Structure 1
Amino acid sequence: MIFMNVGIIGGTDGLGKTLIYYFRDEFDVYITGRDHKKGRAIANNLDVNYIESNAGLANISDVLVVAVPIEYTSDVIREVAPFMKDGSLMVDVTSVKEEPSKTMAEALPETIEYIPTHPIFGPRTTRLDNQVIVLTPDKKGKWYDRVYNYLESKNMRIIETTAEKHDYMMSIVQVLTHFSFISTASAIEKLKVDLSETEDYESPIYNLMIDLIARIVAQNPYLTYNIQSRNNNGPKIRNTFAESVIELRDVINEKDEDKFVEIAIQATKHMGDITNALGRSDKAISALSNEYSYLINSIGKEVGLKHIYSGKIHVGILENVDNKTATLKRGSKIKKLRIANIQILQDNELYQWKLDNMNKVTRSISCIFSKNVHVGTIQETVENFHNIIDIKLIDAYNGPQIPDNSISLTFEVTALTKEAIDNVEKLFVGFGGTIR
Structure 2
Amino acid sequence: MTQSASEDPARPLSTDPDQITLERIRAAADQLKGAILDTPCLPAPRLSALTGAEIFIKYENMQVTGAFKERGALVKLLSLNEEERKRGVIAVSAGNHAQGVAYHAGRLGIPATIVMPAMTPFVKIAATRSFGAEVVLAGDTLAEAKAEADRLSRDKGLIWVHPYDDPDVIAGQGTIALEMLEARPDLDVLVVPIGGGGLIAGMAVAAKAIKPEIEVIGVETVLYPGMWGALKGKEVRCEGPTIAEGIAVRDIGLLTQEVVKRWVDDIILAKESTLEQAINAYLVLQRTIAEGAGAAGLAGLLTDPERFAGKRVGLVLCGGNIDPRLLSSIVIRELARDGRLVSIRIDTPDRPGVLGDITTVIGELQGNVVDVAHHRLFLNVPAKGATLDVTFEAFDANHGEEIVSALRNRGYTVRRLDVAEAID
Q: Same fold, TM exceeding 0.5?
A: no
Q: Larger Cα Rg: Structure 1 or Structure 2?
A: 1
Q: Which has the higher strand share?
A: 1
**Which gives a bigger RCO, structure 1 or 2 (Cα 8 Å, sep 6+)?**
2
TM-score (norm 2): 0.28
